[in-house]
C-alpha cells in the first residue's frame, strides 16, 4: 500500500506564517517562525511599582487647593481689628526647619520639586502673603510628614479653619476633625483622621491672626498627629 503524501514542514526561520498559538521567544530575540521581536511582538514590560513618593505627589495639588479655597485666602485688616493683634500678625512668618521632630528634610527629587511647587502655588494664589512654606520630612515609605503654610494678616481665623476642614472632609475623608489645644501661638486648630490614595494619614490644621497651615503625617492616625502638632507648629510659625 502506498504511503499517504505529507506536505513538507516549514523550517524555523522560513517565511511561512507561524502556526496558531505560537508565542514569541524572548530569550533569543526572535519569535517562533523567525520574525524579530520588534515586528509586532514587543516584549511585555514589567509592571511598575508605585513608589511611596509617587503616591504622595498625587495629593499635593489637592492640599494647595484646600489652602487656597475660594480663589485665595482672605487676608486683610478691618477698622475693628485690635491694633495689638494686627502688629503681632504682621510679625509672623512661616519657615521650613532643617528637621521636623527628628525627621530630616526629604531628599527625594520628586518631593523636593513638590515642596517648591506648593510654596509657589500658594504664593501665586495669595499674593498678599508675607511668607509661604511647603516641605516634606522623613521616610516616604514609612514615616513622612508634609507641611504647607502661609503667613499674612488673616481677618477671620475661625472661618478660614472651617473652610479648610470642610474641604479636607471632601478631599481626604477627614469627617471627624475635632478641636485641639492650639498652644501658646493661639488661634484655632483641629486634628483628625484622613485617607490619601489608600493610605491613612493624620491631619492637623491651624489658623490664627498671622498664619494658617496644614500638617499631614502619613501612615499615622489623627491622634498621633495631634500628639506632635504643637511642637511641629512651633517649629514652622515664627514671630519676630
Which pLDDT score, from 0 to 100, does residue 41 have? Answer: 38
Least confident of 1-5, 35-39, 59-63, 129-133: 35-39
pLDDT tens, 22-36?
444 444 444 334 434
> What mean pLDDT is predicted for residues 135-152?
90
pLDDT tens, 172-204?
888 899 999 988 888 999 999 998 778 889 999
CA angle, residues 234, 88, 240, in degrees to nearest 5: 60
> Does residue 2 surpass a pLDDT of 70?
no
What is the pTM assigned to this prediction? 0.70
Domain boundaries, the chain: 8-45, 52-239
Give SS3 for 150: strand
> Does residue 15 surpass a pLDDT of 60?
no
Which pLDDT score, from 0 to 100, does residue 93 have? Answer: 93
Q: In the Cβ-directed half-sphere of 125, how many Cα atoms lie within 13 Å?
A: 19
More confident position, 155 or 149? 149
Phi, psi (5° rounding) for residue 20? -55, 135
pLDDT confidence bin for 169, thresholds 50/70/90: confident
Cα end-to-end distance, the chain, whole Å: 110
> What mean pLDDT is predicted for residues 46-67?
48
Give SS3 for 26: coil
Q: Are 50 and 58 in contact (CB under 8 A)?
A: no
Amino acid at each position: 500500500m502506498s504511503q499517504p503524501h505529507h506536505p513538507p514542514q516549514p523550517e524555523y526561520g522560513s517565511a511561512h506564517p507561524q502556526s496558531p498559538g505560537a508565542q514569541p521567544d524572548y530569550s533569543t530575540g526572535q519569535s517562533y517562525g523567525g520574525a524579530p521581536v520588534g515586528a509586532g511582538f514587543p516584549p511585555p514590560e514589567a509592571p511598575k511599582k508605585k513608589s511611596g513618593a509617587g503616591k504622595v505627589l498625587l495629593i499635593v495639588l489637592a492640599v494647595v487647593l484646600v489652602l487656597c479655597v475660594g480663589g485665595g485666602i482672605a487676608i486683610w485688616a478691618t477698622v475693628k481689628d485690635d491694633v495689638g493683634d494686627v502688629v503681632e500678625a504682621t510679625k509672623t512668618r512661616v519657615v521650613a526647619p532643617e528637621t521636623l521632630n527628628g525627621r530630616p528634610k526629604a531628599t527625594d527629587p520628586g518631593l523636593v520639586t513638590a515642596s517648591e511647587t506648593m510654596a509657589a502655588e500658594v504664593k501665586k494664589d495669595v499674593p498678599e502673603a508675607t511668607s509661604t512654606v511647603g516641605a516634606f520630612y522623613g521616610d516616604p515609605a514609612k514615616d513622612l510628614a508634609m507641611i504647607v503654610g502661609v503667613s499674612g494678616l488673616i481677618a477671620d481665623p475661625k472661618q478660614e479653619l472651617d473652610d479648610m476642614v470642610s474641604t479636607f472632609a471632601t478631599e481626604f475623608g477627614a469627617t471627624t476633625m475635632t478641636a485641639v489645644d492650639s498652644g501658646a501661638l493661639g488661634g484655632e486648630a483641629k486634628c483628625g483622621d484622613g485617607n490619601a490614595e489608600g493610605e491613612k494619614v493624620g491631619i492637623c490644621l491651624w489658623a490664627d491672626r498671622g498664619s494658617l497651615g496644614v500638617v499631614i503625617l502619613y501612615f499615622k492616625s489623627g491622634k498621633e498627629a495631634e500628639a506632635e502638632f504643637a511642637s511641629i507648629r512651633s517649629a514652622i510659625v515664627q514671630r519676630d
